[in-house]
Copies of this chain bind each other. A is one copy, B any other.
């Protein structure tokens, strides 16, 4: 009677296989330059098979994005234990966020700019992974507010300001690699430091 479970497992396996192949191609060649046929080729199935597992190409991308967010969340939550200094934790979180974006630039762009429509359905609404990521930021910030380190009492605004800063510097560094930036790590440090100091005043 284990046949049904086996079949389900096999089905899930192929789904993962498609996702892995798709991510790899999206990341290397860019979403628009990847065709369903290329993905199919990579996994050695016919193109239409993919449609048995994903509604369409956008749905496939959505699933890739969801994985990216899960990955980001995992990365961030590793920093949570460090409860000593809330400002230091926030600083580290910001740094980790930018680092994540620069480590997986294509993933980051796919998730946060190429297809933010996906947020409507999965990304930021209640119970979603995206919401969990922002909740993490909320926690970090609210601890700083609670300890009267930050002037602003409004946790939402404070969090959004922080997000703007790290999102901005991440995308600029990704999108304009040839721009004569200040030394990269120095810039990231300064952005985060400036924002935190600005929130204190």
The interface of chain A, by Cβ under 8 A from chain B, is 32, 109, 112-113, 116, 119-120, 124, 152, 154, 156-157, 160-161, 163-169, 171-172, 175-176, 178-182, 186-187, 190-191, 193-201
Contacts and interface: CB of A to CB of B under 8 A. Distances in A.
Contacts of A164: 165, 168-169, 172, 187, 191
Given A171-B168, A172-B163, A198 B194 contact: yes
B156 A182 contact: yes
Given A116-B175, A167-B172, A178-B120, A152 B190 contact: yes
Nearest to A166: B168
Nearest to A98: B164
Contacts of A196: 198
Contacts of A112: 175
Contacts of A186: 157
8 contacts: A119-B175, A124-B178, A160-B172, A161-B191, A165-B165, A166-B168, A195-B195, A198-B201
B195 A182 contact: no
A120 B181 CA distance: 14
B119 A113 contact: no
A169 B168 CA distance: 7
B113 A176 contact: no
A156 B116 CA distance: 31
A141 B171 CA distance: 21
Given A168-B171, A172-B163, A124 B179 contact: yes
A194 B199 contact: yes
Nearest 7 pairs of A and B residues by beta carbon: A168-B168, A198-B198, A194-B198, A164-B168, A164-B169, A116-B175, A197-B198
A112 B71 CA distance: 26
